[in-house]
Amino acid sequence: MTSKTIILTGGGTAGHVSLNQAIIPEIMAMDYDVEYIGSKDGIEKELIGESFPQIKYHTIASGKLRRYFSVKNFTDPFRVAGGLIQAVNIIRKTKPAAIFSKGGFVSVPVAMAGKMMNIPVIIHESDVTPGLANKIAMPFADHIFTVFNETLQYVPKEKSTCTGAVIRSELMDGSAAAGREICRFENSLPVLLIMGGSQGSEVVNTAIRSNLQELIQSFNIIHLCGKGNLDETLQGINQYRQFEYVTHELPHLLHLTDFVVSRAGSNSIFEFLALKKPMLLIPLSRQKSRGDQILNAELFQKNGFALVLEEEEANPERFLQALSQVKADEEMLIENMNQAESPKTAHEMAKLVLAHTKKEK
């Protein structure tokens, strides 16, 4: 007999956790228990623990899968092997009906263990091209969900479905008034939200702060600068509010926002699209990533949802020019976003996941 338990996994960045956060309440509302497998020190432990303290969180060892030379490339396979043994033991005790993986290095041994234990493994890929962890895990998957239609050419089509984006229900319930109470801006200028990812972005942070005196002539600014990146010397500026990272406050801040400057992670940009926020995207360069954000940003620009500024071009002068263009194109960008396909709800995504569960005998 299998239990009515679903194991979720995924971590390393907030983007590998946010969808899990969205569907957990929906899965639980359908009378399933949820348990989570993540790493000991990853951001997933903090995010899941803060949002769902009632959920049992299992830690396993995980090695980073690097595309470049490092001595750790020789030792991390042993950590992955250790994580596999730990995941097998967790699955043996939990006897889940399915495993849902959002990606990240910690998810690889979990997917492998699920296949070994004959548990359905469902993978979700939110970028145009699959990340390395998902590429490794895909042979062990029973089904793969993608956000972009274009991704289907990179995954086994016979077991893959494009669902489109999934948006957290609480995102739509945000309140501009609550966001205004958080920020306490003293004027009615348009609000510019800056997001550089959960770890922050030196390029984006520098572009904002080096232009701050000019920017506050036109905007109130909410700057999500990343952990450890607060600048105490700027705390006294009334039109500038900086936060390392926000969770429950984000829907309110987004509803208050008029324009967005952001990296181009799939989850974030689809949230901006759902709320019709004109955006300037500064994707991670190919020197710092596998180029997934560049492809995401290019597709959004092609569809008329965003303007894109390459990281290598994001000097203070060019940044101001690009932001001015977004402001000038505001009506056109919003009109194009109004024509976009509506995103999936977390409830709809949870139902798709549960359709692939192992049935009780």
From CA 179, how far away is CA 224, in angstroms rounded? Answer: 14
Amino acid present at 112:
M
Q: What is the pLDDT of residue 121?
A: 98
Q: What is the structure's pLDDT at 285?
A: 82
Cα–Cα distances in Å, from 72 out to 86, 136, 153, 289?
Answer: 20, 18, 32, 18
C-alpha of 280 from chain center: 17
Predicted local distance difference test score (pLDDT) of residue 71: 46
In this predicted structure, what is the pLDDT of residue 236?
87
Q: Place 100 in a pLDDT band, splitting at 50, 70 and 90.
A: very high
- Report whether pLDDT(64) > 80: no
Q: Which residue has the tokens 């009632």?
A: 54
Rounded to the nearest 5°, which phi and psi values hold at 29?
-65, -20
Residue 288 pLDDT exceeds 70: no
Residue among 129, 163, 127 nearest 264 (CA)? 127
pLDDT at residue 73 greater than cutoff 90:
no
For 202-215, what is each residue's pLDDT tens digit? 888 999 999 999 99
CA distance 230 to 160: 42
Q: What is the mean pLDDT of the chain?
A: 90
Of residues 140 and 288, more confidence is placed in 140
For the residues 266-290, what does the mean pLDDT come to?
A: 89
pLDDT digits (tens, 9 = 90+) for 293-316: 999 999 999 999 999 999 989 888
Say what percent of the chain tops pLDDT 70. Answer: 92
Set out the domains of the chain in order of their start, with CATH numbers: 5-164+344-354 (3.40.50.2000), 170-338 (3.40.50.2000)
Strands 166-167 and 344-345: parallel
Lowest mean per-residue pLDDT among 52-56, 232-236, 277-281 = 232-236
pLDDT of 1 > 50? The answer is no
Q: What is the DSSP letter of 228?
A: T
The percent of residues above 90 in pLDDT, for the chain, comes to 73
Residue 8 to residue 307: CA distance in whole angstroms: 34
Burial bucket for residue 170 (CB in 10 Å: 0-12, 13-18, 19+): middle
Residue 223: phi and psi, rounded to 5, are -115, 105
- Three-state secondary structure call for residue 18: helix
**Which pLDDT belongs to residue 2?**
43
pLDDT at residue number 253: 98
In the chain, the amino acid numbered 327 is: K
Q: What is the pLDDT of residues 151-205, one digit of tens each?
A: 999 999 999 999 999 988 889 999 999 999 999 999 999 999 999 865 557 888 9
Of the listed ranges 18-22, 195-199, 247-251, 311-315, the least confidently predicted one is: 195-199
Element (H, E) at 160: strand 160-162
Give the residue ranges of DSSP H helices in the chain. 18-29, 43-51, 72-94, 107-116, 132-137, 169-172, 176-183, 202-209, 212-215, 250-256, 266-274, 292-302, 316-328, 330-338, 346-354
The whole-angstrom separation of Cα 111 and Cα 55 is 20
Residue 201 has φ and ψ, to the nearest 5°, of -140, 120
Mean pLDDT of 264-288: 91
